[in-house]
Amino acid sequence: MKLDRNESKIFFYDRPVVGEVTKPYTFHYKTNKPEKDGLFCERIFGPIKSGICACGNYRVIGDEKEDPKFCEQCGVEFVDSRIRRYQMGYIKLACPITHVWYLKSLPSYIANLLDKPIKELEGLIYCDVGEILYYKGTYPKFSFAKTVAKKPTFLRLRGFDTFRNREISIGASAIREQLADLDLRLIIDCSLVEWKELGEEGPTGNEWEDRKIVRRKNFLVRRMELAKNFIRTNVEAEWMVLCLSPVLPPRIETDHSNRWG
């Protein structure tokens, strides 16, 4: 058995992972006990009473001779009830979602790393497929060919061969895949080379072009700094797209609801 509080999961070597909240319930209306796999579940967040599991069994806390450390019936760990103040759970999302702070912030972290306009990313995230497929003519438009006997309708689309061997995804999952494929060290090297090339060109005599070059150089500097921060802190770029939603500890939820009614 292994307890990993940083990821809000309890790992059993012979059991499935504990920590996922799958039910929206809190307490059972008859027994007044926390619902299993609910928002106040003792198996996920810890026991309500120190050393007492949901079945009512008791174990001495901190005694290494006491075995097992988890109840074999309900799976509750025999620990101090104060663990419910910081033990967190998680909800597995049906599909990935992009964190609005990383998308809408100025400058946008996601747009910075992918080197793409925010409008293009928003169209992809919000599943505005038509706008993305026809964006700047990058992808061919689908159109129906002449009727062919015994041939599926989709196979009669002009441009189908272009997408036959390609994986097409929309929404935040597409953003996550692009971020996962990034090589941050390569981004730093390429951005530095481009920044030096722009610096060697000098003024063009056109005010608009000069401003455009300055903006591009500033963008490259921000991109290199962002990539360095990700590498230094051991953070993966795809973590900006969420697949899990954290659940607050029960004690914090209760205190918050009592304060605001």
Confidence of residue 157 (pLDDT cuts 50, 70, 90): low
The whole-number pLDDT of residue 161 equals 62
- pLDDT surpasses 50 at 45: yes
For the chain, domain boundaries: 15-87, 97-243
60 pLDDT higher than 60: yes
Among candidates 236, 240, 234, 237, which has minimal Cα distance to 96? 240
Q: Mean pLDDT throughout 129-146?
A: 42
pLDDT of residue 135: 38
Q: How far apart are CA 89 and CA 20, in angstroms?
A: 6
61-74: pLDDT as tens digits: 766 665 667 777 88
Percentage of the chain beyond pLDDT 90 is 5
Confidence of residue 209 (pLDDT cuts 50, 70, 90): confident
Mean of pLDDT values over 182-207:
84
